[in-house]
Structure 1
C-alpha cells in the first residue's frame, strides 16, 4: 500500500525531484470513478471496500477512460505486503495490452515527454547515487571483493510437478524467452546465452539500454518479446530480428556481481533488494517481480492467463553458478520436453516436406530414442524445418540402437532441438501423444535430457 496523497495531486503532471517520495516523472494515466460492485450508494460502497481491504479481498468496479469493469485486489497472505491485482472476465476484458496506451488522459504526453521537457534526474545518475549509498553503508560488507567473472553459465532450476505454498520460498514468472547473462563493464557490455553465445548482434537495442547503466555488474535474466496483451511470445522472439514485431524486453531477476563485489553468496532476498535499489527506470530492461509464500494462487493465475509457468526459489538460497539445484524449481502449466531431431519420415497425403520428426534425448553420452512427433506443424514450420534439416542429412542412424519406426526414415546429424507438449511417459520411455511446439535454436543438442519432475 502507498501513502495517502493530497486530493490536489489528482491533476498534477510533472517531475517530482529526486529525494522526495515518488520521485520521477508523473502523468495522469487514467481518470474516472470507482465503486463496490454490490453497493447501492456511496456510503455503502465505501464501507464494503474498507471491509474487503481488511479481509484481503477487495472487489471494485472502475469506470475510467482506459480501465473499465470489475477488478479484485487479493492479499496473498495475511499481514504480508504482497497483493495480486486480478481482472474479472467481463465485457470490458480485452486481449489488447492496456499499458500500450501510454499517454496522459489530460495532456496526451508520455512519461518520456514529461522527462524531456522538465529535466528530471537522469536514471543513470539516480543509479550512481543509490550505489554510492550502498558502498558507503553495510550492504556489501559481507560480499568479498573479486574480479568480475566472464562467460559464466547460469544457475538452473529443477522441474517440479505441482505448485506449493511455503513461507520460506518466493515465486516468479517463468518467462518464455532466452535465458541471458549481462556483463556490464566500464568499457563494454556483453549479453550472452546460457551456452555462452553472444547475443549483442541479435539484440542491439538491449545492449544500448544496458550501456546507459553507470555501474559494473553481472546480471541474470530472460530476453522476451511480449505481444499486445503483454504476454511473452516465443515465436515473436525468434522472428524479432527479421520482423521487429512485438515489444523487446530484458527481465532481470538476479545479480551475481556489483562494483567488484561477489554477491553470489548473499541470500536471494538480499540480492533482490540490491537489484530493486540499483536498476534505473528503463523502457527495455525491467526488474522481474516476485511474490512471497503463495505459490498455488500465483500458479493458478498464471495458468488461467495461458502463460508458461512459475519459478519457485528458496528465499535464502545462494547463487550456484552453472549448477541445476533444488533451491530453484520450475513448475510448468503444461508438460513439455525438448528433443534432439535425429531424422524425419516422408510426407503422406497432401502434406509436404516431411511426415514426422524422430526425436531423441541424451542419457549420459548416448542419444536415446524418445518418440516421434507428427502433429502441431503448419505449412511455414514444415518448410522452415525441412530447409534446416537438408544440410544435416547422413547415411546412418545417430542412435546406437536404431529404433523401430512405422516408415523409412531419413537420418540427420543430431544438432537441431525442438520442443513438444505431451501427456506423460510410457513404461518404455516414449512420449505419449507429443505435439510440436517450436524449434529451440537457443538450446545445445548435447544438453538435452529427459526432464524428470520432483
Structure 2
C-alpha cells in the first residue's frame, strides 16, 4: 500500500489508530450530557512517551518527528509513560489555524506551532480508554505540564449553541461535540463524537490536472475525485487557492504520476484537456455546497494532506436522524 510522503517520515509497524468523529447534520445544540471543543484545522497526531523513546505520528502511523521537530522536542520534556491524542496546528498572521501553513511548515518558520492535546489513552502503564471522557480529560489536565508548544485543549460543557456562535464569529472550522461519558474506541468512527462544521470541507483525491491559461504557470486546475461505494468518482475541479509556490510544488509531485488513461470509474466533465495521474495524492478543499450531480461548488484548495491515503478518502456525508434532547434533526 502506498503512503503519502511526510518529510523525514517513516511508517511504524505498531501504532495506535485514533477514535474519529462522525460528521453530523445537526445544528449546534445545548445538552448537559455533552461537551464541546474547537475543531482544529490541522493534523491529527498521537504521541507515545516513555522513558525509552518518544513517538509522534499521524493517524496512519507515519512519523512526524522530522516534519515538526519543535513539537517532538517539546514532548521530550514530559516525564512518565503516557499516550496522548491531539492535533498539530500552525497559526497564520491572523492568529487562526492555517492548514496551508501547516502543510508547508518549516522548522525555521516564524509561524507558531502547537500540539493541542484533547485526550489521554494511557498513563503510567494504566489503560484509560474505558474511563469516561470527562475522567480522561481531568487526568490529562492534571498531568500535562505547562508548555507553549504542547498544550491542553480545553472545552465548553453543556452550552454548544453559544460556543458554536463564537467559533463562527471568529471564522474557525467548527466544533466537535462529545458525550461526556463516552469511552475511547480505538480506530473507530462513532456518533459519540460529532463534527459540527461552520464551513464545508472535503478531502479529495487528485486524479488529473488541466493546462494553464494566461499568466498561470504549471497547471490550470486539479481534477478531484472520491471513493463512493467502492468506485472512484469525480467531484469537479479546483483552480483557486494556489500560490506560486504551491503551484510549483504540487506540479512537481504530479509529474511522476502521469498516466495515459483516466483512473476514474465514472466519466468526468470537460475531460478533453486533462492530463491524468495516478490517484495517489490527497488534498483538502473548502466549498460552498455540493450540487445534485455530486460536484463541489466554488472549491478552494487548502493544501496537500500528508497523513491520508487515497484509499481512505470517501465523500463525507452527515449522519442523519441523530436525536439530542429528544429532538430529531
Q: Please give the range of the TM-score, normalised by the shorter of the 2 chains.
A: 0.7 to 0.9
For 2:187, the equivalent position in structure 1 comes to 322
Distance 1:166 1:209 in 2: 36
Task: State the Cα distance separating 1:299 from its structure 2 match.
Answer: 1.0
* Equivalent of residue 278 in structure 2, options 406, 410, 413: 413
Question: What value does the CA root-mean-square deviation take over the aligned residues?
Answer: 1.8
Q: Residues 70 and 107 of structure 2 are in contact (CA less than 8 Å); yes or no, is this contact kept in structure 1? A: no
1:274-353 correspondence runs (5 A): 274-353=139-218
| Structure ranking higher on relative contact order (CA contacts 8 Å, 6+ apart) | 2
Give the structure with higher Rg (CA). 1
Distance 2:86 2:17 in 1: 12
Pair 1:263-2:128 in alignment = yes
For 1:206, the equivalent position in structure 2 comes to 71
Higher fraction of helix: 1
Query: CA, structure 1 residues 424+254, in 2 after alignment: closer, same or farther (shift >3 Å)?
Result: same
1:197-236 correspondence runs (5 A): 197-227=62-92, 229-236=94-101
Q: Residues 345 and 407 of structure 1 are in contact (CA less than 8 Å); yes or no, is this contact kept in structure 2? A: no
- Any gaps of 5 or more consecutive residues in structure 1? 1-148
Task: State the Cα distance separating 1:245 from its structure 2 match.
Answer: 2.0
Distance 1:183 1:154 in 2: 12
Q: Residues 191 and 200 of structure 1 are in contact (CA less than 8 Å); yes or no, is this contact kept in structure 2? A: yes
Higher fraction of strand: 2
Distance 1:210 1:241 in 2: 18
For 1:387, the equivalent position in structure 2 comes to 252
Q: Once the two structures are superposed, what CA deviation does each residue of 1:394-444 show, in whole Å capped at 9, x if it has no partner?
A: 111111233232532100011111122222222222222323232222322
Pair 1:157-2:5 in alignment = no
For 1:28, the equivalent position in structure 2 comes to none
Q: Residues 42 and 87 of structure 2 are in contact (CA less than 8 Å); yes or no, is this contact kept in structure 1? A: yes
Regions of 4+ moved over 3 Å = 227-230
Q: Compute the TM-score of the two structures, normalised by the length of structure 2.
A: 0.88
Task: State the Cα distance separating 1:294 from its structure 2 match.
Answer: 0.9
1:240-251 correspondence runs (5 A): 240-241=105-106, 243-251=108-116
State the number of aligned residues: 306
Q: Once the two structures are superposed, what CA deviation does each residue of 1:67-92 show, in whole Å capped at 9, x if it has no partner?
A: xxxxxxxxxxxxxxxxxxxxxxxxxx
Distance 1:351 1:207 in 2: 38
For 2:327, the equivalent position in structure 1 comes to none
Task: State the Cα distance separating 1:337 from its structure 2 match.
Answer: 1.2
* Equivalent of residue 377 in structure 1, options 232, 237, 242: 242
Task: State the Cα distance separating 1:447 from its structure 2 match.
Answer: 0.7
For 1:175, the equivalent position in structure 2 comes to 40
Query: CA, structure 1 residues 226+348, in 2 after alignment: closer, same or farther (shift >3 Å)?
Result: closer
Task: State the Cα distance separating 1:307 from its structure 2 match.
Answer: 1.3
Distance 1:176 1:402 in 2: 32
- Any gaps of 5 or more consecutive residues in structure 2? 1-12, 320-329
For 2:56, the equivalent position in structure 1 comes to 191
Task: State the Cα distance separating 1:355 from its structure 2 match.
Answer: 1.6
Task: State the Cα distance separating 1:229 from its structure 2 match.
Answer: 5.0
Q: Report the 3-state secondary structure (helix = DSSP H, G, I; strand = E; otherwise coil) of the residue aligned with 1:419.
A: strand
Task: State the Cα distance separating 1:150 from its structure 2 match.
Answer: 4.6
Q: Once the two structures are superposed, what CA deviation does each residue of 1:249-292 show, in whole Å capped at 9, x if it has no partner?
A: 11110011111111101000000110111111122111000010
Pair 1:361-2:226 in alignment = yes
